[in-house]
Chain A
């Protein structure tokens, strides 16, 4: 069983602060009109994102969902290039073509967000098969949500990955709501891994707001997948802070409880202080360091030019030989 050193908690704590700082900065910029289109944040889900990132290696690949800015960041993409991308700038990781929902960075194994829910459950099978064919012990991770279970690809993907024993790590971020629909209104159980288990693959559930527990099991799951035994379906129970575009239909007391009592950062902080891993002053310094980093990234993004309109047609085709002269 993979065990995580207690001091790793400090690293995970810093990771969570980075994600929160990054997302709060973006929310603010979105309000100011500096982020085009839609912005889905991972606020409230920082522990789950930090745990997934902790389990991935640079040689793995992952498919991030629409609340995965934080995972892309923690996987190693430069924060300034992610922020620039989300703000539609030329210096972004995808030159401004992808934006918030389609972040990709080949350098860190980020194989790109496709936010038609379920689509990536099909696509993630491909790298897994390629590695299996080549005998490389890497994994293909895909981040999905409770809402994704409703899609046909959920069945197709779990069925094929389990039958072919593909190295896929399914990261089920169960944040309990698909826009306005509660998980129990859309599915026969609130635990998505119970549905996945029918496909004869390994599953586990974890408190996705307990960063140490989540990181430990994510590491174990990743090791299992890399061993070639088959896919693993890991379910994180968590909660998103962000409401929906027209307001929040959720019970205010429920929202308050998750944002305060169950806040993953507050919980980690309390453990760190209780165990004497760091002092209040040290944690304040860490917070200031993170804030300064995010400020730098924002400055970079704001100072970056928008994409050149004359490049709008670049990359439609990977090879232009199909066009007659």
Chain B
């Protein structure tokens, strides 16, 4: 099994699904000749031709509208919205058309589309190319939001997403595109809606997704050196999220930190935290803590961006505060 970057893993997933499923096609801006802004669709045009790999004008609403309408006739489109921030310009198609169609027409039509979008900050791309957009879509029934943290999951989740019958927003974190992991050459799926416990620990549960998973892993190493064992859960699917895996873990550790790259108001961190409170209140030995971005747009200058975005230090600080009852006296918490 070879090491692949997330870009290579996603690219292989698209190649394999397009080869086996004639109803799958791709559309988006610069996905053909250029192979995508991040090279995820590289080689598809040469392999599958311009009918199935369609470069579009700068028309996000038309891209998603085309995807939805063709899915009503049994196609399985994979639409690329180059930068997740641009989803504002096709919000209506996603929220009012794709997400509601199966419901409002009483099951007559399905919209099995996958909307791939590069999301997240950390690369100095500024206020319109760095946002984490999942909060915008969390309160939309009918949508599925998938968000891998590594190359292996990215491939398996993308294949599963394309074959699923729901409309799916598939978030690809820009800062993770180059990260590598072992990825099998053959076709496989990773189940949607299932979180993954990626590090075992008994003292505190850290729930995260995408880049925050890596921040949590780094934080866990630091905490372990201080004798605190963190259990880390990678949600992988953000809507619907895997309550059972999260609650089973917190029932054991009795402490939880929920980390997200978005601002905290109306975020997945807030939602997961509240559910933990509701379900496990009497079992908790400390309040659930949230880690997220500061309440501001994402500035371009790296030093400012670092100030806004959450990182491993914020997770370490949050865990340290939760563990205060176990700290020797005199240790300051964040």
Contact = CB atoms under 8 A, between A and B. Distances in A.
Do A and B belong to a common assembly? Answer: yes
Interface of A: 61, 93-95, 97-98, 102, 104-106, 111-112, 114, 116, 118-119, 121-131, 133, 140, 152-153, 155-157, 159-160, 163, 314-319, 321-325
Interface stretch (B8-16, B64-72, B173-181, B250-258): B64-72
Contacts of B62: 122, 125, 153, 156-157, 159-160
A159 B96 contact: no
B103 A126 contact: no
A301 to B, nearest CB: 16
B201 interface: no
A106 B69 contact: no
B101 interface: yes
B51 A126 contact: no
B56 A160 contact: yes
B107 A315 contact: yes
Interface in B1-51: 25, 51
B249 to A, nearest CB: 13
A140 B191 CA distance: 35
Contact of B242 (A112, A121, A160, A324): A324
Contacts of B142: 316-317
A157 B105 CA distance: 23
Given A122-B93, A324-B245, A325-B244, A319 B164 contact: yes
Contacts of B97: 114, 119, 122-123
Nearest to A153: B61
B305 to A, nearest CB: 30
A201 to B, nearest CB: 15
B92 interface: yes
Residue from the set A93, A112, A114, A322 with the largest chain B CB neighbour count within 10 Å = A322
A140 B69 contact: yes
A95 B106 contact: yes
Residue from the set A127, A130, A140 with the largest chain B CB neighbour count within 10 Å = A130
B192 A122 contact: no
A226 to B, nearest CB: 16
B192 A121 contact: no
Given A97-B104, A102-B105, A116-B92, A321 B72 contact: no
Contact of A322 (B96, B108, B164): B164
Given A98-B105, A152-B61, A323 B68 contact: no
CB-based closest 7 A-B pairs = A126-B69, A122-B65, A126-B70, A156-B62, A156-B59, A319-B165, A104-B105
B190 to A, nearest CB: 12
6 contacts: A98-B104, A125-B62, A126-B73, A129-B66, A159-B57, A319-B164
Interface in B102-119: 102-112
Contact of B92 (A102, A119, A125): A119
Given A111-B69, A126-B67, 14 more contacts: A93-B106, A95-B106, A97-B104, A104-B105, A123-B66, A123-B68, A123-B69, A125-B66, A140-B69, A315-B107, A316-B103, A322-B192, A322-B240, A324-B240
Given A125-B62, A321-B192, A111 B141 contact: no
Given A119-B92, A316-B103, A322 B69 contact: no
A207 to B, nearest CB: 31
A133 B25 contact: yes
Contacts of B68: 122-123, 126
A39 B144 CA distance: 32
Interface residues of B, number: 55
B101 A112 contact: yes
A122 B61 CA distance: 6
Given A127-B69, A324-B242, A112 B104 contact: yes
A273 to B, nearest CB: 42
B87 to A, nearest CB: 14
B61 A318 contact: no
B205 interface: no
Contacts of A156: 57, 59, 61-62, 65
B322 to A, nearest CB: 26
Residue from the set A140, A315, A317 with the largest chain B CB neighbour count within 10 Å = A317
A157 B65 contact: yes
A126 B104 contact: no
Contact of B71 (A94, A105, A114, A126): A126
Residue from the set A98, A318, A325 with the largest chain B CB neighbour count within 10 Å = A318
B96 A105 contact: no
Given A116-B96, A119-B93, A159-B59, A322 B193 contact: yes
B122 interface: no
Given A95-B106, A160-B59, A316-B141, A111 B72 contact: yes
B150 interface: no
Interface in B142-193: 142, 144, 164-166, 191-193
A119 B66 CA distance: 11
Nearest to A99: B104
B73 A153 contact: no
A317 B192 contact: no
Nearest to B113: A126
Interface string B67-88: 1111111110100000000000
B243 interface: yes
